[in-house]
A = this chain, B = another copy of it.
Amino acid sequence: MTNPLPQGAVIGILGGGQLGRMLSVAAARLGFRTHIFEPGANPPASHVADTVTTAPYEDEAALTAFGNAVDVITYEFENVPTSALDLLGALAPIHPGREALRISQDRITEKDFLSGLGLSVAPYAAVDDAASMQAAIAAVGAPSILKTRRFGYDGKGQARLKTSADADQALADMAGAPAVLEGFIDFSAEISVIAARSPTGEVACFDPGENVHEGGILRKTTVPANVSASLRMDGVLLAGRILNALDYVGVMGVELFVTPKGLVVNEIAPRVHNSGHWTQNGCTVDQFEQHIRAIAGWPLGNGQRHSDVVMENLIGSDMDRVPNLAAQAETALHLYGKAEVKDGRKMGHVNRITGPASA
């Protein structure tokens, strides 16, 4: 895809959640139409999309029709089944590409890849059974955290080990799924870099945000992060190295731990990222438009920030706060139109502008 996508071209999006929804709006803003592929009925993205296909990822006829109807394909989550990608890849370009997906779908593959680039990651060891669990504890120690290798999100599929005595329970929690034991990192802050790369190799990063998680779910991102300028620059350079190594096209979220020894990569996500939602009200070109620009072969925005922002997720019953939030000055609501409020479900987020961009 060397030519920029023209006006009216159709962008196919796998997944109809809030990320697909905000990608769809950004695509429309640049004159594109969107086609959402999503198994569930009435997904958030369908409210702002031109076309919606409701079908499972195993429906080859639906996938084929979708692939033939779009000019480029992207996705809002990294666990798209390989069989669907095989079929779709023959019909339209998929960005970000298969290699980025393959790597980010498996925590061990991802850590091997990052280590191979010379980046720091937490100590880790594969865990498939009681024997490898013992070996892993010997290598990684405790406290540590056991995670499924695949399909984890928002803290699901994770078990903490305070001491090695927690090993049996943690292993049982995995329910037989291949896992990885990760050493606990003593970090002073978690930051993330939202980085973009175009097909021509142009790279642009947004300023790192500082994240606070609660119960494994992102609660808040503050920009600028309260870390030194040199650490922020380290984060940006490191993200660029990852993108270039993958010949990446699109936006990636890179989560980093700030430690006394420097930055440690927690994980990467080959898509727009919750910790980049602040860009909607802090930048001229936000992460969603940046992703669309990249996969459409357009020039990237420069990522510059015009305002300081605090982004807070609205989770479950946080929706009760909406009337109050709506009445607050300099507060931008972004609600996802989800039919049902559930505990732990991301229902929206709020960006609070805290002032003009500070250093």
Measured CB to CB, the residues of A under 8 A from B are: 4, 7-8, 21, 24-25, 28-34, 46-50, 281, 284-285, 293, 298-299, 301-302, 304, 306-307, 319, 322-323, 326-327, 329-337, 339, 348, 351, 353, 356-357
Partner of A25, one of B25, B306, B330, B337: B25
Most chain B beta carbons < 10 A, residue from A48, A330, A348: A48
Let me know if B50 and A47 touch, CB within 8 A. yes
Partner of A356, one of B28, B48, B284, B306: B306
CA distance A21 to B28 in the complex (A): 9
Let me know if A299 and B319 touch, CB within 8 A. no
Tell me the smallest distance from the CB of A337 to a CB of chain B, in Å: 5
Let me know if B293 and A29 touch, CB within 8 A. no
Q: Are A284 and B331 also in contact (CB < 8 A) when A299-B326, A326-B293, A356-B356 are?
A: yes
Partner of A335, one of B31, B34, B284, B334: B31
Let me know if A48 and B24 touch, CB within 8 A. yes
Which partner residue on chain B sits nearest A24 by CB separation? Answer: B48
CA distance A307 to B28 in the complex (A): 24
Most chain B beta carbons < 10 A, residue from A8, A323, A337: A337
Let me know if B284 and A330 touch, CB within 8 A. yes
Let me know if A31 and B337 touch, CB within 8 A. yes
Q: Are A353 and B284 also in contact (CB < 8 A) when A28-B21, A28-B25, A29-B333 are?
A: yes
Let me know if A30 and B333 touch, CB within 8 A. yes
Add 15 more A-B contacts to A7-B322, A284-B351, A302-B329 (CB < 8 A): A8-B339, A25-B28, A28-B47, A29-B333, A29-B334, A29-B335, A33-B47, A33-B337, A48-B49, A284-B330, A299-B323, A299-B327, A304-B330, A306-B306, A306-B356
Residues of B within 8 A of A326 (CB): 293, 298-299
Partner of A336, one of B31, B335, B357: B31
CA distance A323 to B296 in the complex (A): 12
Tell me the smallest distance from the CB of A46 to a CB of chain B, in Å: 7
CA distance A232 to B146 in the complex (A): 62
Which partner residue on chain B sits nearest A45 by CB separation? Answer: B28
Tell me the smallest distance from the CB of A19 to a CB of chain B, in Å: 14
CA distance A183 to B253 in the complex (A): 60
CA distance A206 to B77 in the complex (A): 38
By Cβ-Cβ distance, the 6 closest A-B pairs, closest first, are A31-B335, A299-B327, A47-B50, A356-B356, A48-B48, A28-B48
Let me know if A7 and B337 touch, CB within 8 A. yes
Let me know if A337 and B32 touch, CB within 8 A. yes
Interchain residue pairs with CB less than 8 A apart (18): A7-B319, A7-B322, A7-B335, A24-B48, A25-B28, A28-B47, A29-B334, A30-B335, A33-B47, A281-B284, A284-B329, A284-B332, A298-B323, A299-B327, A306-B306, A306-B307, A306-B330, A356-B357
Tell me the smallest distance from the CB of A34 to a CB of chain B, in Å: 8
